[in-house]
């Protein structure tokens, strides 16, 4: 069947989900509910009025980290395992009249031309990207470009990133509007901190998957929920995203998968949820049941620790 005839996830409400060793195959028709994404006021303001050119830079991970699995990537012609979902989510939250260029330092070169093009640099990531993020701050300053940092490591250790011009800490969904207002008013620095765990993810817009070069990755991430009910002592999740999982709606996540299909993506999709099936019984069951056989153009991966035993059979009784 040609690409144009592929059934969408929203039409079929079906997909196959691989959970490490197992696969969920259960079907139900999905009731489409209208959902309203968060919208930033896109009208030009006084101060910096022309649409901003934003260079999104995903910092390099420390070399030799197990999780870089470079050799596995090379086997299939990819450059790095996972796409930068945080940054493309931020791009979707910013005014869409702004222009975006994404450079992933793990997959491609960051050039002088990229810096010359940009009005503003935005960067950030996890702890193993900290040295490169700090180096990027210096590089931006050498080139006279303002830089905004955000993401999990800046949120955990903001004091380390004091040299950045702006910090946007925590989940960006609401607080990014305050940054945009400050930027457009001509401000040159500021710290914007999101109220913890209050983001309604049902209002999050689909990430800007169109900014990705899919061939660079082993898998592309999507996120259905944030937060985890457990409290493993080594894990930052409950500090960053809370103990009460917040989930997107099923139509919302199917729309994200459809967008990937429409952009031509075929392959592995990683549900990057902190604990995909660790959330409330009702929600995780509803979500699992909305996936089933019938759309084999993507395979789905996730790592989870179930909270309710009853969730397990839906996964373990499946096959393909
Ligand atoms: C998928 C994932 C991975 C993937 C790779 C992902 C990738 N893109 O490269 C894999 C499995 C490889 C991985 C590995 C590791 N990971 Co990891 N990972 C995740 C996970 C589960 C999801 C990431 C994601 O896509 N989130 C979805 C996006 C939308 O959320 P977000 O990134 O937080 O973005 C939001 C905000 O933070 C903010 N934001 C993000 N970036 C920016 C940038 C700017 C400028 C602004 C303004 C805002 C902003 O806006 C977004 C919307 O609200 C997170 C947990 C989590 N819930 O995020 C852990 C997490 C990021 N990982 C973590 C860790 C510790 C690791 C490892 C070091 C584990 C280890 N011990 O080896 C390794 C290191 C990898 C390496 N190569 O060296 C920690 C980071 C903690 C910290 N304080 O830095 C987290 C938070 C999990 C935890 N247990 O605490 N990881
Ligand atoms: S189950 Fe996973 S996400 Fe939840 S607290 Fe433990 S390690 Fe963190």
Give the pLDDT score at 40: 57
Work out which ligand 1 atom sits closest to the CA atom of 207: 29
Percent of the chain whose pLDDT exceeds 90: 65
Residues within a 6 A CB radius of ligand 2: 228, 230-232, 235, 237-238, 274-275, 305
**Which residue, judged by its Cα, is nearest atom 80 of ligand 1?**
126
pLDDT tens column, 127-178: 999 999 999 999 999 999 999 999 999 999 999 999 999 999 999 998 999 9
From 81, 160, 272, 278, mutation site for ligand 1 pocket: most ligand atoms within 8 A of C-beta? 272
Cβ atoms of residues 251 and 290 within 8 Å: no
CATH topology of domain 53-193: Rossmann fold (3.40.50)
Q: What is the atom index within ligand 1 of the atom nearest the CA of 240?
A: 86
Residue range 109-133: mean pLDDT, rounded: 98
CA 235 to centroid of ligand 2, rounded, Å:
6
Phi, psi (deg, nearest 5) at residue 191: -125, 125
What's the pLDDT at 52?
96
State whether residue 82 is helix, strand or coil. Answer: strand
Select from 156, 227, 230 the residue to mutate for testing ligand 2; criterion: most ligand atoms less than 8 Å from CB: 230
Same fold: 8-33+213-316 with 53-193: no
Q: Return all residues near 12 (Cβ < 8 A) that are at least 6 apart.
A: 294, 295
Pocket test for ligand 2, best of 152, 223, 225, 232 (most atoms within 8 A of CB): 232
Query: In the CATH scheme, what architecture does the domain 8-33+213-316 have?
Result: 2-Layer Sandwich (3.30)
Indicate whether 25 pLDDT > 50: no
Residue 302 parent element (H or E):
strand 298-302
Mean pLDDT for the chain overall:
83
- Look up the pTM and report it: 0.89
Q: What is the mean pLDDT of residues 19-26?
A: 31
Whether ligand 1 lies within 6 angstroms of the CB of 227 is answered as no
Query: 42-45: which pairs have CB atoms within 8 A and are 24 or more residues apart?
Result: 42/95, 42/96, 42/97, 44/184, 45/181, 45/184, 45/185
What residue spans define the domains of the chain? 8-33+213-316, 53-193
């Amino acid at each position: 069947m040609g690409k144009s005839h592929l059934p969408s996830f929203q039409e079929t409400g079906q997909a196959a989900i691989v959970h490490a060793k197992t696969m969920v195959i259960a079907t139900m028709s999905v009731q489409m509910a209208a959902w309203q994404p968060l919208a930033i006021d896109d009208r030009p303001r006084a101060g910096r009025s022309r649409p901003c050119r934003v260079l999104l830079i995903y910092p390099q991970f420390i070399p030799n980290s197990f999780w870089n699995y470079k050799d596995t990537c090379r086997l299939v012609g990819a450059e790095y395992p996972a796409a930068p979902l945080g940054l493309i989510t931020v791009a979707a939250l910013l005014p869409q009249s702004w222009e975006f260029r994404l450079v992933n330092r793990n997959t491609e070169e960051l050039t002088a031309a990229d810096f010359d093009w940009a009005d503003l640099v935005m960067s950030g990531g996890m702890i193993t990207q900290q040295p490169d993020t700090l180096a990027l701050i210096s590089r931006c300053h050498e080139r006279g470009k303002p830089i905004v940092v955000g993401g999990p490591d800046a949120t955990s250790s903001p004091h380390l990133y004091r040299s950045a011009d702006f910090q946007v800490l925590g989940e960006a969904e609401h607080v990014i509007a305050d940054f945009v207002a400050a930027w457009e008013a001509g401000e040159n620095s500021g710290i914007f901190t999101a109220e913890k765990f209050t983001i309604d993810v049902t209002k999050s817009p689909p990430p800007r998957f169109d900014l990705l070069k899919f061939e660079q990755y082993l898998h592309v991430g999507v996120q259905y929920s944030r937060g985890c009910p457990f409290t493993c002592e080594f894990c930052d999740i409950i500090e960053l995203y809370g103990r009460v999982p917040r989930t997107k709606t099923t139509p919302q996540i199917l729309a994200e998968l459809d967008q990937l299909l429409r952009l031509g993506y075929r392959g592995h999709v990683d549900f990057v949820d902190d604990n995909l099936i660790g959330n409330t019984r009702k929600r995780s069951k509803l979500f699992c049941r909305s996936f089933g056989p019938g759309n084999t153009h993507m395979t789905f991966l996730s790592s989870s620790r179930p909270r309710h035993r009853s969730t397990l059979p839906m996964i373990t009784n499946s096959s393909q």
